[in-house]
Amino acid sequence: MSMILNRSIITIFLVFILSCKSSDEVIEEEANCTGDYSTKNVLTNINEEIFNNDESVNTYSRYTWSSNGESRILRGNGIPNHEVGTFPNSGNPNRISEQSVNKNFTLCPSIISENGLEVVGPAMVIAYALNSVKFDPATAGRCNDAGACSLAQGQGNWNIEALGHDTFDFGDDMNHAHVQPNGAYHYHGMPELLVDFLGDNQGMTIVGWASDGFPVYARYGYSDANNSNSSIKSLTPSYRLKSEPDANRPTTLTALIGGPGQGTTNPNTPIQMGAFTQDYEYVEGLGDLDQCNGRFGVTPEFPNGIYYYVVTDDFPFFTRCLKGDT
Q: Average pLDDT in the 18-35 region?
A: 49
List Cβ neighbours of 96 (8 Å cut-off, separation of 6 or more): 56, 57, 79, 80, 84, 87, 179, 183, 185
Residue 325 in any domain: the answer is yes
- In the chain the first and final C-alpha atoms are separated, in Å, by 39
Q: Is the peptide bond before 237 cis (omega within 30 degrees of 0)?
A: no
Asked if 310 contacts 218 with a C-beta cutoff of 8 angstroms, the reply is yes
pTM over 0.75: yes
Number of domains in the chain: 1
78 is a domain residue:
yes
Q: Dump pLDDT digits (tens) for 94-141.
A: 999 999 999 999 999 999 999 999 987 666 899 999 999 999 999 999
Is 184 part of a structural domain of the chain? Answer: yes
CA distance 285 to 291: 10
Q: Is residue 38 part of a domain?
A: yes
Distance CA 141, CA 17 (A): 52
Pairing assessment for the beta strands 255-257 and 148-150 based on DSSP bridges? parallel
pLDDT value of position 219: 97
Query: What pLDDT is recorded for position 202?
Result: 76
User: What range does the domain containing 320 cover?
Assistant: 1-139+162-234+287-326
- 83 is a domain residue: yes
Question: How high is the pLDDT of residue 30?
Answer: 56
Residue 117, domain member (yes or no)? yes
Q: Is residue 100 part of a domain?
A: yes
- 173/89 Cα distance (integer angstroms): 10
Q: What is the pLDDT of residues 42-72, one digit of tens each?
A: 999 999 999 999 999 999 999 999 999 999 9
In a domain, 265, yes or no: no
Amino acid letter, residue 209: W
Q: What is the pLDDT of residues 225-276, one digit of tens each?
A: 999 999 999 999 999 999 999 999 999 999 998 655 557 888 999 999 999 9
- Average pLDDT over the chain, rounded to an integer: 89
